Structure 1
Amino acid sequence: MPRVTFDSLEINPKELKSTKNPLLGFDGKRVEPIGTVELMVRAAEKNLVESFVVVEIHPSYNLLMGRGWIYRVQGVPSTLHQVMRCISPDGSKVIDIRRDQVAAKECYLVTLKAAGKGQTHARSADEQ
């Protein structure tokens, strides 16, 4: 969880638990965590407590959910369709967790541009 997301949730900083386990960022750099916090997450009609590592980074996302969480919500993610399909707790229906594909693409391109110092290596499908 980026620090900015933690701050926007207005959680008391005293709830952060100390951790000494460094993370390896997507760019290969070592990232020192500020701490960890446990939060209730509601998705696919399920309430699950999830532990988040809070770090001082400025990514294009608010949270990263791990494979364990995806398994617990019985999710099947599709990066192609920008959706995660889940089964309701009683098994009676399929629930799609969606995000705005246009906004996700814009965030991704901004991240690529920042990482490449102004040079992106991605093209829109419309440009082909």
Structure 2
Amino acid sequence: MPKVTFDRLEIKPEELKSTGNPLLGFNGKRVEPIDTVELVVRTAERDLVESFVVVESYPSYNLLMGRGWIHRVQGVPSTLHQVMRCLSPDRSKVIDIHGDQVVAKECYSVTLKAAGKEKAHIRSVAAQ
């Protein structure tokens, strides 16, 4: 969780718990975490307590949910379709958690700009 997201959530600093484990960033560099915080996340009709590592970074996302969380909600993600499909806790219905492809493309462009690269030329290709 970027610190800016932590700040926006208006969580009391006392709720942070110490962590001594460094992280490896997507760019391969070592990232020193500020601390961790546990939050209740409601997804797919479940309330799960998740631990988030708070880091000083300015990425194009608010939170990253890991494989452990995906497994706990029994999710099957599709990056192609920007959706994660889950079963309800009683397994009676399918729940789709949709992403927004427009926002995803904007985030990608912001990330490229932050890395000093040109904006990607994104275009749709229709099947014939």
Partner of 2:111, secondary structure, is helix
Q: Which residue of structure 2 lines up, in the alignment, with residue 74 of structure 1? A: 74
Can you list the C-alpha shifts for 1:14-67, whole angstroms capped at 9, x where unaligned?
A: 110111111011111111100001110000000000000000000011101111
Number of aligned residues: 126
- Gapped regions of structure 2 (runs ≥ 5): none
* TM-score of the aligned structures, taking structure 1 as reference length: 0.92
* Mapped pair 1:50 → 2:27: no
1:127 deviates by 7.8
Secondary structure of the residue that 1:63 maps to in structure 2? coil
CA distance change for structure 1 residues 127 and 111 in 2, over 3 Å: closer, same or farther?
farther
Q: Distance in 2 between matches of 1:110 and 1:104?
A: 10
1:25 corresponds to 2:25: yes
Which residue of the partner structure matches residue 61 of structure 1? 61
Cα shift at 1:126? 3.3
Instruction: Give the alignment's Cα RMSD to 1 decimal.
Output: 1.5
Task: Give identity over the alignment, percent.
Answer: 76
Match of residue 123 from structure 1: 121
Give 1:101's aligned amino acid.
Answer: Q
Residue 34 of structure 2 aligns to a residue whose secondary structure is strand
1:86 aligns with 2:86: yes
Superposition misfits of 4+ residues, deviation over 6 angstroms: none
* Cα deviation digits, residues 101-126 of structure 1 (max 9, x gap): 101111111102221x1424x43133
- Offset at residue 94 of structure 1 (A): 0.6
2:107 counterpart SS class? helix
Distance 2:104 2:122 in 1: 13
* Cα displacement string for residues 77-105 of structure 1 (whole angstroms, at most 9, x for unaligned residues): 11111111100011111101112210111
Aligned to 1:6: 6
* Aligned equivalents of 2:79, 2:125: Cα separation in 1: 20
